[in-house]
Amino acid sequence: MARKKKEKPVVAEAMPDNVVGLRSEVLEQPITETLESNYMPYAMSVIVSRAIPEIDGFKPSHRKLLYTMYKMNLLTGARTKSANIVGQTMRLNPHGEASIYETMVRLSKGYEALLCPFVDSKGNFGKVYSRDMAYAASRYTEAKLSAICKEVFGDIDKDTVDMADNYDGSMKEPVLLPTSFPNILVSPNVGIAVGMASSICSFNITEVCETAIALLRDPDHNVKSTLPAPDFPTGGEVIMDASAIDEVYETGRGAIKLRAKWRYISKLNIIEIYEIPYTTNIEVIMDKLSDMVKNGKLKEISDARDETDLGGLKLTLDLKRGTDPDKLMQKLFRATPLMDSFFCNFNILIEGHPKVMGILEIFDEWTAWREACVKRRTYFDLTKKQEKLHLLLGLEKILLDIDKAIEIIRKTEREADVIPNLMAGFGIDKIQAEYIAEIKLRNINKEYILKRTKELDELRAAIAELTDLLKNRKKIRNVIIKELTEVIKQHGSPRKTEIVYAGEDEAEDEQEEIPDYPVHVFVSREGYLKKITPLSLRMSGEQKYKDGDSLAFSCEGTNRAELLVFSDKQQVYKLKLSEIEETKASLLGTYLPSELEMDEGESVLQVIYITDYSGDLLLFYENGKVARFGAVAYETKNNRRKLMNAYSDKSRLIKVMKLTEEMQFAMISSEERALIINSALLAPKVSRTTQGVNVMSIKAKHRLKGAYLLTETAIKNQARYRARSLPARGAILTEDDRGEKQLSMLD
């Protein structure tokens, strides 16, 4: 009988047997081990070596570039081609020429992204406020280190910071740069790592140094008195919100609101915008203005153009006759990136560990680090002076008998015996003897030796001073204060971003911009909304809906009111009625899922009309629970339209009611049971995601079918359905209490 040939697996045909075995082993490796051995090292590398700045205010890419330029003598020398700098930096940063050049562009004076640029650039380096104004190639531009880099590299050759091998071990590079001022707060830094990010706004260098000096003198110093607010390279205005500033200063997290600067030229009837928020650019602003004009939301402008040139940024708006420029700008601030927020996340690497810190903690960390740098520099100077003193003490010993030294050298037959003979003849050590032996013949005279030995007293005094400095923390801090004062003197500059205080009439101005008139609101079950004026409604015929659709909500209100739109995905959307175009009863209206940009598959569950956020909301869930909390839980200070995790997801939401006063309502289950309770029995909760309290006990096969104001029902025998305590099952509805009105609501 012929033996059947065994079929080989497909994998075995493509790989040797041992490779197949390895492959099966990898497939069986637990995911936790894969994450720990492969993913975690990558994540930590991105966090520590790429995205998060350290206490000196630099990321590794910044540090490698600047140190390369320092070693190229570009601090005092002339500019060189950027391509040359990029090529030299490859010895420390092997991530590619393009990324190195982009780093140089960001640090350059021409790009205007920093308050204190570190690269003195020549040529086209683009602009931070323009997306389309691209920088020239590295072969066309030139650069050197700017003057402020003296404060960065002044002590680097005195062992102030640790040095480490580069990626191939061919040279050393600094782990940190010994900046003599808190650059971590002066230079803005934004970085996205794996699982975390960093976003540090910039502050004025003069204010930062003054604050550091004040804290060194008085740890209880009020930081806001010398560091009132951030300062951004693009200027503009920072809206002073005391609570927001305090949050950022104390926690290292929060948002700083910025807006553009503008001027109105009455002769030409134009508005010129000449400074914009640091977080945006002119192309984004122009795109938004264009969209608003096309959609008919900006009828006050006849033309908008970008007139940015070599003189600087300028956006020009031609106004139509009769337009109020102040009201127009308030409208643009609300609707465009001309007013934006910088979201702060002061995440900094401290000894290799990321840490989110407030302003005071950052100053404390920088002070401790700078004290260590000054100590290391002092110890370096002390060691050098002690070595020099040691040599001069040996030189002093031959002062009394120079001829003896010459005679010892002359009579020594072998060169190797010169040092031992000098040591024996004068009682000096080997280092001193070698120093004396290396003195040139022309310098072996009494005048030279006397000049050198006169330095002894100066050296002894300097050594005593340095030794005392190392032991006295107060004196070390005085040195830091002196250096910070010099930084202010040499590199201080006025604020670029003006501080303005939010006026109390801003909200009133916004309301005045919105026309106030009565409207009728209709929302269908499928989510179509109609806003119809009373006059149009009287002249209209029957309401039109899509096949299978019908009315779900209607109310009379005002154009200035809002709607809270509850979706079936535990999200609430805020919609201003003023943003919806008026329509007619014969049209379908605005489709809310599209207007509110709802997620795919998300639909409208219920709509609540709201004029203010006073009072409470009652949320009825399918499992018989009811949640009560303040409507203020949905109030926001900005124009955010989407609120996520807006209510509990433990059970399906059936009904939402707004309470302005305590009232009675009826809950009806699918078992045809009814329960009447007063809203006063429900205690308000703090969280909007609360699951609520058990009100109606419902069997497993049944559910809550509806909830209504008691006045909306046909229940006559109300006592039958009231409960003495909660939760309660309620009572079966009688025929008399059902009524046609009730039946229609249950259908």
The catalytic site residues sit at 140
* 679 in Cβ contact with 664 (< 8 Å): yes
C-alpha closest to that of 313 among 106, 127, 113: 127
C-alpha closest to that of 231 among 345, 342, 364: 342
CA distance 220 to 207: 17
* 228 in Cβ contact with 313 (< 8 Å): no
| Tokens representing residue 295 in the block | 């959609």
With a CB cutoff of 8 Å and minimum separation 6, the contacts of 195 are 43, 47
| Tokens representing residue 526 in the block | 């499928």
DSSP character string of 418-446: HHHHHHHHHT--HHHHHHHHTS-GGG-SH
Q: Residue 33: enclosing H or E segment and its boundaries?
A: helix 31-34
Q: Residue 555: enclosing H or E segment and its boundaries?
A: strand 551-558
β-strand 315-319 against 253-259: which pairing, if any?
unpaired
Helices (H) and strands (E) in the chain, counts: 25, 33
Residue 641: CB atoms within 10 A of its CB come to 16
CA angle 367, 176, 479 (to 5 degrees): 35
Radius of gyration of the chain (CA): 38
* 258 in Cβ contact with 232 (< 8 Å): yes
| Burial of 243 per CB tally in 10 Å (0-12, 13-18, 19+) | exposed
With a CB cutoff of 8 Å and minimum separation 6, the contacts of 141 are 81, 82, 121, 122, 123, 124, 125, 135
| Tokens representing residue 63 in the block | 């540090």
Strand partners, 573: 565, 642
* 661 in Cβ contact with 620 (< 8 Å): no
CA angle 220, 223, 227 (to 5 degrees): 160
Dihedral pair phi/psi, residue 311, rounded to 5°:
-75, -15
Residue 305 carries which side chain, given as an amino acid letter? R
DSSP character string of 95-142: S-HHHHHHHHHHHBTTTT--SS-SEEEES----TT-SS-PPPPTTT-E
Hey, which bits of 577-663 come out as E strands? Answer: 590-591, 604-610, 616-621, 625-630, 642-643, 653-659
Q: Is 577 helix (H, G, I), strand (E, B) or coil?
A: helix
Residue 459 carries which side chain, given as an amino acid letter? L
Instruction: Specify the long-range contacts of residues 677-681, CB closer than 8 Å, at least 24 apart.
Output: 677/722, 677/723, 677/726, 679/616, 679/618, 679/628, 681/726
With a CB cutoff of 8 Å and minimum separation 6, the contacts of 500 are 237, 238, 239, 240
